[in-house]
Chains A and B, each alone.
Chain A
Amino acid sequence: MRAVHYLNQFFAGLGGEEAAETPPTRLEGAVGPGRGLDGTLEGIEIVATLACGDDYFAEHEEEALGRLLELAGAERPGLVVAGPAFGSGRYGYACARFSRLVSERLGIPALAAMHGENPGVAVAEGKVPIVPTAVNVVGMRDALPRMAQLAAALASGRELGPPAEEGYLPRGFRRNRLAEQPGAERAIDLLLAKLDGDARSEVDGGFDRVPPPLPVPDLSRARLALVTEAGCVPQGNPDRLPAIRAQGWLRYSLAGERSLAAGRYESVHGGFDVTLANEDPNRLVPLDTVRALEEAGRVGRIHDVFYTTTGNGTPVAASTRFGSEIAAELREAGVEAVLLSGT
């Protein structure tokens, strides 16, 4: 199998800081650490090394990536390997960005190698596996055989096993397995350990906390939109918004509507008892109240469509996508404030 290796200017032997402005460059065969890697790979040959200066990459990221993808694609490789970047932030960032694009755009398996706290790890977002290394070049001898091991696994085309077995950093996917003890016994062990001062967890919260935006400078001049995840739709649910696991969102006109009347709107949400909500759909989407505020001049203008979805059993990734798509439309429409009602 043909492989392409990515290095920065230093490891490619082009020079130190003075060569950091080097644009993407193709070198024949394995170079620098690639020679050591090539020696441990079985059935995989590094046919070309691509190198780029750290400064050049940082200052011309899109151009550098475009050129690197072009150069990589031309080699028709079965595998792309980047690094090891150790603790170097700029180099690690470039390895992660490049290897991820190779995987996502070219559909070619790729891996990178760097220290677990290198900022490149977060940039990879689990899209490419990363071999953990020491923080500096002292870890080279240790890193290369482990990169070779993971390269062989990727080259085989099989699905990767658990991170500890395959030798890559956990990417953040949650996978099921059978523990040795039932959850009840594990819970007792964890509680007794915690009472002993050693709190441990099988799940990290790790929630992204959304920082509150700046206050709207003058609500009496702002355009306000109503957005909800309460599953509020026109009566009869004409567009078949699901009660659970919505795959998208919908928008409905509010033009001429003063209030969301019972019998004209309803909630199809399957995660709460909708009886009270359907008695008065304004409880979900408070159009009656915001219209009154609009008339009183306290809100500039109510946006003439409202956005709705069902927030029930929806994976975080899907919810994030709905949010970005709705926000993009609202921004386009000049909306400055949103009243987001949740259930």
Chain B
Amino acid sequence: MAWELATFPAGLMGKVPPLEHVDVEVVRPGEPVRITHVLDAVEPRVRPDGRAAFPVEGTAGEGRTNRLEGVVVLSCLDFPAEERPLHEQESLVDMAGPGAALSPIAEDTAVVLRFRPRAGLGNEELEASARRTTLVVAEELARPTLDAEPVEVERFELGPVERELPAVAALIQLSDLGPLYYQYLYGVPVGAAGLPRAIDPAELLDGAVTCGEYHWAALRNPTVVFQRSALVHALYREHGQRLRFAGVVLMRGYEQSAAAKRRAAEAAAQAALALGVDGAIVTTDAGGNSHTDVMLTCRACEEAGVRTTVIVAEMADPEATGPGLTDWVPEADSIVSAGNAEELVPAWTPQRVLGGDTLLDGTPAATAGPIPVRNYFGATNQTGQLALTATTW
């Protein structure tokens, strides 16, 4: 399978469609702006052949897709009530100040959509509407590229490799923990999408996976992190150089029983083995429960003869020594740390706040003191997107 990604300048961005119950603002990188209650970030994409940019049927990662470079649509929503099961966490993007260094979208112009909930709608209904609207806006913003010439076209195709190189897969964990904790594969919550499943790596880059998971902001893998996956891009680059990129396996995190967790881990290992791999890079979404899933997956892979490197974030109390991992198995002898989500980011005073003036804990967003990394959107996302790491002091 071959897929082309054509890049266009941000200047082609079209008029933002006026949406009911949505405030729209455009913020540039470096502006002294704090954005609160952030749900997701999506890169504007459109397909010249008319197929959906975020397909719910058919296959992504074929033909050509146009992208707007350096732009993301950022959705924000303060859910009106704490209905169980729902414990959405504060989620911030700082466009400047010390928090900007933690952001996966620090260099992007953000089209900020603040959804104003209409009275009487439940959280799940609001979430679905916000998520769909965000994807539609992302597609609309990219539409002007259809009449323009790209500045770059990248081709993603895994050709045959002549040399004897180690075969490597990316084993990507996706969350399904109930409403507001879903990631979606072709529009279906991943728990119902038949995981584990091997997909062409280009499908991941091309909108097959979208995010509706609003747990820990820092440990979240938003849609843009899949669209721009540093891991998949790096594996394509290394294909035929230092390794043979054997594919992507999507697996589910947040299984709800010990037996289901073991089964999911073993099935993921078998799916990786079926690709004929020597090694796998295992990524994580969210924390706690899902860290047990990732460790069990690591163990199952190693037992199946697949060597693993695991990417996880740490949650180490800044004032105490001790492990920052929720779970660990001795087989996990090769771990990349995506940083310590518990560390505090120094206080910073923005000139403007978008998304909502008050943080979920009741403090004013403009004058909040030091805020933990865990509240910074995507800051310690566990797919290897960013350079943040933790070292022992």
Across the interface, name the chain B residue whose C-beta is closest to A267: B84
Interface with B: A5-13, A214-222, A250-258, A311-319, which one?
Answer: A311-319
- Is the pair B387, A179 in contact by a Cβ cutoff of 8 Å? yes
Interfacial chain A residues near B335, Cβ < 8 Å: 201-203
B155 at the interface (CB under 8 A from A): no
Across the interface, name the chain A residue whose C-beta is closest to B278: A195
- Is the pair B383, A315 in contact by a Cβ cutoff of 8 Å? no
Across the interface, name the chain A residue whose C-beta is closest to B229: A184
B11 at the interface (CB under 8 A from A): no
- Is the pair A178, B328 in contact by a Cβ cutoff of 8 Å? no
A145 at the interface (CB under 8 A from B): no
Residues of chain A from 171 to 226 with CB closer than 8 A to chain B in the complex: 171-188, 190-195, 199-207
A279 at the interface (CB under 8 A from B): no
- Is the pair B178, A206 in contact by a Cβ cutoff of 8 Å? no
Across the interface, name the chain A residue whose C-beta is closest to B374: A313
- Is the pair B231, A187 in contact by a Cβ cutoff of 8 Å? yes
- Is the pair A192, B242 in contact by a Cβ cutoff of 8 Å? yes
B216 at the interface (CB under 8 A from A): yes
- Is the pair B387, A182 in contact by a Cβ cutoff of 8 Å? yes
Interfacial chain B residues near A181, Cβ < 8 Å: 387
A156 at the interface (CB under 8 A from B): no
Chain A, interface size category, equals: 35 or more
A271 at the interface (CB under 8 A from B): yes
Min C-beta distance of B268 to chain A, whole Å: 16
Mask for B378-393, Cβ within 8 A of A = 1, else 0?
0000011111111111
State in angstroms the CA–CA spacing of A204 and B335 once bound together: 8
Interfacial chain B residues near A271, Cβ < 8 Å: 288-289
- Is the pair A312, B288 in contact by a Cβ cutoff of 8 Å? yes
Interfacial chain A residues near B279, Cβ < 8 Å: 191-192, 194-195
- Is the pair B343, A184 in contact by a Cβ cutoff of 8 Å? no
State in angstroms the CA–CA spacing of A340 and B384 once bound together: 36
Residues of chain A from 289 to 330 with CB closer than 8 A to chain B in the complex: 312-313, 315-318
Set A173, A201, A273, A312: member contacting B334, Cβ < 8 A: A201
B13 at the interface (CB under 8 A from A): no
Set B278, B312, B392: member contacting A172, Cβ < 8 A: B392
Residues of chain B from 321 to 359 with CB closer than 8 A to chain A in the complex: 321-325, 328-330, 332-340, 342-343
- Is the pair B391, A190 in contact by a Cβ cutoff of 8 Å? no
B270 at the interface (CB under 8 A from A): no
- Is the pair A174, B334 in contact by a Cβ cutoff of 8 Å? no
Across the interface, name the chain A residue whose C-beta is closest to B317: A315
Set A162, A172, A202, A313: member contacting B337, Cβ < 8 A: A202
- Is the pair B393, A162 in contact by a Cβ cutoff of 8 Å? yes
A170 at the interface (CB under 8 A from B): yes
State in angstroms the CA–CA spacing of A142 and B127 once bound together: 63
Across the interface, name the chain B residue whose C-beta is closest to A191: B309
- Is the pair A205, B328 in contact by a Cβ cutoff of 8 Å? yes
Min C-beta distance of B141 to chain A, whole Å: 26
- Is the pair B311, A183 in contact by a Cβ cutoff of 8 Å? yes
| Known pairs A274-B85, A313-B288, A316-B317; A174 contacts B243 (CB<8 A) | no
- Is the pair B242, A313 in contact by a Cβ cutoff of 8 Å? no
Residues of chain A from 138 to 186 with CB closer than 8 A to chain B in the complex: 160, 162-163, 170-186
- Is the pair A173, B330 in contact by a Cβ cutoff of 8 Å? no
Min C-beta distance of A74 to chain B, whole Å: 30
- Is the pair A273, B166 in contact by a Cβ cutoff of 8 Å? no
A33 at the interface (CB under 8 A from B): no
Interfacial chain A residues near B233, Cβ < 8 Å: 184
Q: Number of B residues whose C-beta is below 8 Å from A?
A: 71
- Is the pair A177, B391 in contact by a Cβ cutoff of 8 Å? yes
- Is the pair B85, A183 in contact by a Cβ cutoff of 8 Å? no
B177 at the interface (CB under 8 A from A): yes
Name which of A173, A174, A179, A206 has the most chain B CB atoms within 10 A of its CB.
A174
- Is the pair B278, A176 in contact by a Cβ cutoff of 8 Å? no
B129 at the interface (CB under 8 A from A): no
A70 at the interface (CB under 8 A from B): no
State in angstroms the CA–CA spacing of A277 and B317 once bound together: 29
Set A125, A199, A274: member contacting B84, Cβ < 8 A: A274
- Is the pair A203, B242 in contact by a Cβ cutoff of 8 Å? no
- Is the pair B328, A175 in contact by a Cβ cutoff of 8 Å? no
- Is the pair A270, B390 in contact by a Cβ cutoff of 8 Å? no
- Is the pair B234, A175 in contact by a Cβ cutoff of 8 Å? no
State in angstroms the CA–CA spacing of A176 and B389 once bound together: 6
Residues of chain B from 73 to 101 with CB closer than 8 A to chain A in the complex: 84-85, 87, 89, 101
| Known pairs A176-B389, A183-B338, A199-B333; A272 contacts B177 (CB<8 A) | yes
Interfacial chain A residues near B231, Cβ < 8 Å: 184, 187
State in angstroms the CA–CA spacing of A272 and B178 once bound together: 9
Across the interface, name the chain B residue whose C-beta is closest to A192: B242
Interfacial chain B residues near A243, Cβ < 8 Å: 87
- Is the pair A192, B393 in contact by a Cβ cutoff of 8 Å? no
Residues of chain A from 68 to 92 with CB closer than 8 A to chain B in the complex: none
Mask for B19-48, Cβ within 8 A of A = 1, else 0?
000000000000000000000000000000
Set A188, A204, A278: member contacting B238, Cβ < 8 A: A188
Across the interface, name the chain B residue whose C-beta is closest to A160: B393
Interfacial chain A residues near B222, Cβ < 8 Å: none
State in angstroms the CA–CA spacing of A25 and B337 once bound together: 48
| Known pairs A184-B385, A194-B279, A203-B325; A315 contacts B320 (CB<8 A) | yes
Interfacial chain B residues near A200, Cβ < 8 Å: 334
Residues of chain B from 214 to 254 with CB closer than 8 A to chain A in the complex: 216, 229-231, 233-235, 238, 242-243
Interfacial chain B residues near A315, Cβ < 8 Å: 315-317, 320, 342
Interfacial chain A residues near B392, Cβ < 8 Å: 163, 170-175, 204
- Is the pair A175, B281 in contact by a Cβ cutoff of 8 Å? no
Min C-beta distance of A219 to chain B, whole Å: 24
A14 at the interface (CB under 8 A from B): no
- Is the pair A184, B383 in contact by a Cβ cutoff of 8 Å? yes
State in angstroms the CA–CA spacing of A199 and B279 once bound together: 12
State in angstroms the CA–CA spacing of A312 and B287 once bound together: 9
Interfacial chain B residues near A193, Cβ < 8 Å: 334
Set A160, A176, A203, A244: member contacting B87, Cβ < 8 A: A244
Query: Which residues of B pack against A, CB within 8 Å?
Result: 84-85, 87, 89, 101, 166, 168, 177-178, 216, 229-231, 233-235, 238, 242-243, 256, 278-281, 287-289, 307-309, 311-312, 314-325, 328-330, 332-340, 342-343, 373-374, 383-393
In the complex, 14 of the A-B residue pairs with CB atoms within 8 angstroms, ordered by the A residue number, are: A170-B393, A174-B392, A177-B391, A183-B387, A184-B230, A187-B309, A187-B384, A188-B168, A190-B334, A201-B334, A205-B325, A205-B332, A316-B320, A316-B323
In the complex, given contacts A183-B387, A184-B384, what are 17 additional A-B residue pairs having Cβ atoms less than 8 angstroms apart? A125-B321, A162-B393, A163-B392, A173-B321, A174-B314, A174-B392, A175-B392, A183-B386, A187-B281, A188-B168, A191-B280, A194-B334, A195-B307, A202-B390, A244-B89, A273-B177, A315-B342
